[in-house]
Structures are given as structure tokens and as C-alpha cells.
């Protein structure tokens, strides 16, 4: 469609091979010729076709990003941080949302595959992703879920520990009826949280109640719904742990709607800070989502593996501590 290397060759009166050599800065090309060719390139405005280049060289300078939802602030934060690492190295990002749907995830990966991405950034939904991913055999970096950490480079926050800390924090302050609102049950991140939740109860010699663990979707809507359900129970929990910033937003909207007071009526701990945390009353006690750190690590891991493919598989576990606000009340025993 546009100007091809052949056009440049004709314009400069040389062969396409020579033009290619000039374009790619190969040695052994006469200075005079080189100047000729460069002039022709400028005159015609030639840009190498990356499709053809990719087909020949097996390199597209494109990284696929397969995530749950590209409009989720957490995901965006991670992606943007990774982009900051990858873009300066010449990579661009091909993005697709899976909406936490295994079928869509598979489609996305197939698409990335057939578009020959050089690498993949993924927050895996399905556990058997490896079976249909291995065909490609390009570098993969996973985050937020640790189901694939034995196969692919992974960076994730230790959710078991984070949840343990949150529950322990609450138990130590006299809460025992502690609810957790989280996203899709099948995600490994939720299994980790579940374990952390149980361990905290176990170590504090308390007994957890099954009905206090609520799973739905990482959305405002579910945050609202779940919180409402909790509050209207006969034995409403004295504290709630929210699984993500987005869920917390929903919870807070519901809180205001129902006129519930935090922390007087119910205590709240959030996984992930709100984007306008500072402007909201009360300050929410939370553990950081660490989008920046995750994204940066993901970018760097991918980059290093693109350069030296047969590195050993790496796992980067980040720890997130509780940052105290004013949303937890101490109960007198």
C-alpha cells in the first residue's frame, strides 16, 4: 500500500538488498551509496513494513497484555508501569480484556499467538492455561495469580499473608465476626486469602464462620450488594474486609446510602487504597495494592527474558503491610 523497499531501490538506483542494508545499519556499504539511499528514503518517506519484517524475522516488537479488565484501576496501574519499562525498548502493547472468563481468555491468548507477539503479560484466570499456551513458547510474565509460578515468571503480592495480617489485626482488637467480600471464588488469589483468613483464626484460637466469606466479582456493584446483605443479617459482622479498591468503593457507596457509620457501626479494612483516599472520611485502614511495583517488576522480568530466554523461572513475592486509618474500632471484651 505505502512506499516499499522496492520503490526506494528504484528511486536510488540500487538493489533492495542494499536498501535493506542501509536501513538496518549493516556494514559493508559504500558511503556514497548510503547517502543516495538515505536521500531516497527521505524523499519517499519510506517506513519499513513491520508485518513483513515480523514474518521474516519472527519479531514483532509487540507485547500482548491479557488481563481481566483494562478499565480496572488496579490493572491499568500495573499495565502503565510495565509500559514505562517496555516502551523505551521499542515494544508496544496489544491489549485485551478477559472479563475473568476462561473462554474469552483462551480466545485472547490464541489471538495473541496468531499475531505473533514477542511476549505476554497476563493475569491468568484459568489454571490449565499452560496447556494451550505452550505452543507459542514465547516469554510470559504473570501477575496477581500464582497458579503458574512454577512455569512462568510471576510477580504477586502474598495475599495469604496480607489477609492473615488484616484478620489478625481485627481479632487482636476484639472482632470475631469478621466478613470478607471478594471476587471470583475460583481465582487463586481468593484461595490464598481464604487460607490467610483461616490461619489467623486458628492462631488466635478463634473459630471462623463459613457464611462470612463472600465471593462475587471485583466490581462496585458486588461490593454494594454484598455489604447490604451482610448488614441486614440478624448477626451482622462487626468488621468487613474488602478484597479490592473497587469493591471498597461499592461498599462505601452502600455505607453512605444506608447511613451506616464507620467505624462506629462496623469496621472496614480494604485491600487497595482508594484513588482519593485522602479526601474521604474516615481514612480507610488498608493494605496497598502495589500496582507500580508489580508493573515495574513485570516489565523488567519480561525484558530480561526477551533478551536471555533460558533464564530460570523467577518468582517475585511482594509483601503488603497494613496501613492504619480510622476505619477500625477496638471492641472492649
Partner DNA sequence: TCTATATAAGAAAACGTTTTCAATATTTTG
Partner DNA sequence: CAAAATATTGAAAACGTTTTCTTATATAGA
Residues at the site binding its own copies, with contacts judged by CB under 8 A: 1-3, 45, 47-52, 54-55, 58, 60, 62, 69-71, 73, 76-77, 79-80, 83, 87, 92-97, 110-111, 113-116, 135-137, 249, 252-253, 256, 274-276, 278-281
User: Taking CB under 7 A as the rule, does residue 5 contact DNA?
Assistant: yes
Cβ nearer to DNA, comparing 28 with 310: 28
- Please state whether beta strands 322-323 and 285-287 pair in parallel, antiparallel, or not at all (unpaired): antiparallel
Cβ nearer to DNA, comparing 16 with 70: 16
CB atoms within 10 A of CB 93: 16
What residue 32 binds from its own copies, DNA, none (CB within 5 to 8 A, per partner kind)? DNA
Tell me the closest approach of the beta carbon of residue 330 to its own copies, in angstroms: 24
The DSSP secondary structure of 239-282, one letter per residue, reads EEEESSHHHHHHHHHHHHHHT--TTTT-EEEEES--TTGGGSSS
Note whether 288 and 273 are within 8 A (CB).
Answer: yes
What residue 23 binds from its own copies, DNA, none (CB within 5 to 8 A, per partner kind)? DNA
Task: Identify the sign of the CA torsion 306, 307, 308, 314.
Answer: negative
Pattern of binders to DNA over 41-60, x per CB under 7 A? -----xxxx-xxx-xxx---
User: Taking CB under 7 A as the rule, does residue 15 contact DNA?
Assistant: yes
Residue 78 CB-density burial (10 A; 0-12 exposed, 13-18 middle, 19+ buried): buried
The one segment of 23-31, 102-110, 195-203, 298-306 that binds DNA by CB under 7 A? 23-31
CA distance 102 to 129: 9
CA distance 224 to 236: 15
CA distance 171 to 196: 13
Cβ nearer to DNA, comparing 48 with 282: 48
What residue 113 binds from DNA, its own copies, none (CB within 5 to 8 A, per partner kind)? its own copies
CA distance 209 to 239: 13
| Non-local CB neighbours of 127 within 8 Å, separated by 6+ positions | 147, 188
Tell me the closest approach of the beta carbon of residue 25 to its own copies, in angstroms: 17
Tell me the closest approach of the beta carbon of residue 234 to its own copies, in angstroms: 28
Residues that bind DNA (CB under 7 A): 1, 4-6, 13-18, 20-21, 23-24, 27-30, 32-33, 46-49, 51-53, 55-57
Amino acid at each position: 500500500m505505502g512506499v516499499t523497499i522496492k520503490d526506494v531501490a528504484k528511486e536510488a538506483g540500487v538493489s533492495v538488498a542494499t536498501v535493506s542494508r542501509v536501513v538496518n545499519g549493516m556494514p559493508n556499504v559504500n558511503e556514497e551509496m548510503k547517502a543516495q539511499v538515505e536521500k531516497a528514503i527521505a524523499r519517499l518517506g519510506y517506513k519499513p513494513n513491520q508485518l513483513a519484517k515480523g514474518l521474516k524475522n519472527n519479531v514483532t516488537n509487540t507485547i500482548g497484555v491479557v488481563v481481566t479488565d483494562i478499565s480496572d484501576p488496579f490493572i491499568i496501574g500495573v499495565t502503565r508501569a510495565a509500559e514505562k519499562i517496555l516502551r523505551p525498548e521499542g515494544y508496544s502493547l496489544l491489549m485485551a480484556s478477559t472479563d475473568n472468563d476462561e473462554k474469552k481468555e483462551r480466545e485472547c491468548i490464541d489471538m495473541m499467538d496468531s499475531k505473533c507477539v514477542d511476549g505476554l503479560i497476563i493475569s491468568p484466570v484459568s489454571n490449565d492455561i499452560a496447556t494451550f499456551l505452550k505452543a507459542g513458547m514465547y516469554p510470559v510474565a504473570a501477575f496477581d495469580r500464582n497458579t503458574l509460578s512454577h512455569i512462568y515468571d510471576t510477580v504477586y503480592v502474598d495475599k495469604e499473608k496480607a489477609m492473615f495480617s488484616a484478620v489478625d489485626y481485627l481479632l487482636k482488637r476484639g472482632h470475631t465476626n469478621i466478613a470478607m467480600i471478594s471476587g471470583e471464588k475460583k481465582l487463586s488469589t481468593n484461595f490464598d486469602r481464604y487460607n490467610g483468613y483461616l490461619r489467623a483464626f486458628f492462631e488466635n484460637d478463634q473459630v471462623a464462620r463459613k457464611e462470612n466469606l463472600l465471593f462475587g466479582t471485583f466490581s462496585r456493584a458486588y461490593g454494594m450488594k454484598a455489604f447490604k446483605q451482610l448488614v441486614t443479617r440478624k448477626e451482622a459482622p462487626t468488621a468487613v474486609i474488602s478484597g479490592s479498591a473497587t469493591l471498597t468503593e461499592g461498599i462505601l457507596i452502600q455505607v453512605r446510602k444506608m447511613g451506616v457509620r464507620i467505624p462506629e457501626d462496623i469496621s472496614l479494612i480494604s485491600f487497595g487504597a482508594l484513588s482519593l483516599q485522602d479526601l474521604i472520611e474516615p481514612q480507610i485502614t488498608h493494605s496497598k495494592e502495589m500496582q507500580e511495583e508489580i508493573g515495574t517488576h513485570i516489565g523488567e522480568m519480561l525484558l530480561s527474558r526477551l533478551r536471555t530466554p533460558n533464564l530460570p523461572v523467577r518468582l517475585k513475592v511482594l509483601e503488603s503491610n497494613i496501613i492504619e486509618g480510622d476505619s477500625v474500632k477496638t471492641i472492649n471484651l
